[in-house]
Amino acid sequence: MSSTNPQRLHVACIMDGNGRWASRRGLPRTEGHTAGEAALADIVRASADRPVGWLTAFGFSTENWVRPRTEVRHILSLHRRLFARTEEMNSRNARTRWIGRPFNEKGSRTPVYVQKAIAKAISDTQDNTGLTVTIAFDYGSRAELVRAAQRAMAAGPVSAASITQNLYDPTLPHVDVLVRTSGEARISNFLLWQITGARVFFTERTWPDFDKNQLDEALALASGHYA
């Protein structure tokens, strides 16, 4: 079921266009990712002041490991910084969560220093009761669904409920609105199970240019009356 309550919407973001943002300015792609991390921090702040209960961001996919090594290293360092924003998260009564390939399972490639940053961020914000910010890192929806189906079959008959119970985070509600930036009219390998029935907000803006005004447009699409 969707979260439906207009005071507790679930917004999911495919943060596309960091590289394009940088290219248009004659900057290296790494600068685009830096600007993208800053934009996500701004959207977290804006979401905490709006009727958003859950904000889920596609930080790094299972396919992104094939990018140039220097770019991957830069993205990893940005995620460590992102997960380190615990003081601000606590000041906003927001908690950090994570979904992705479990660290102890075959195929996981998350470096130990990022694992530690994720674990600390989750621990340091676990008692907060406001906005839940979930970062999808080393995440792919197909991998999540295959794993969920395998675990469900091992336990008995497979059903929609048993699949849901075996997702990376079974407490994550269905998405109310999916945001896709940079003019890409597709959803990618992101939360395929959780976006059933979600509205989709497409924008030509690259992710670093996505701001609170466009967030309001996305929320209006989801709730039907919020502006």
Indicate which residue of 5, 18, 49, 64 is catalytic.
Answer: 64
Is residue 16 part of the annotated active site? The answer reads: yes
In sequence order, what DSSP letters do the residues of the chain get, joined into one string? -B---TTSEEEEEE---HHHHHHHTT--HHHHHHHHHHHHHHHHHHHHTTTEEEEEEEEEETTGGGS-HHHHHHHHHHHHHHHTTHHHHHHTT-EEEEESS-TTSTT----HHHHHHHHHHHHHHTT--S-EEEEEEEE-HHHHHHHHHHHHHHHSS--HHHHHHTSS-TTPPBPSEEEE-TT-----SS-TTTTTT-EEEE-SS-GGG--HHHHHHHHHHHHSS--
Is residue 64 part of the annotated active site? The answer reads: yes
> Which residue numbers are catalytic?
16, 64
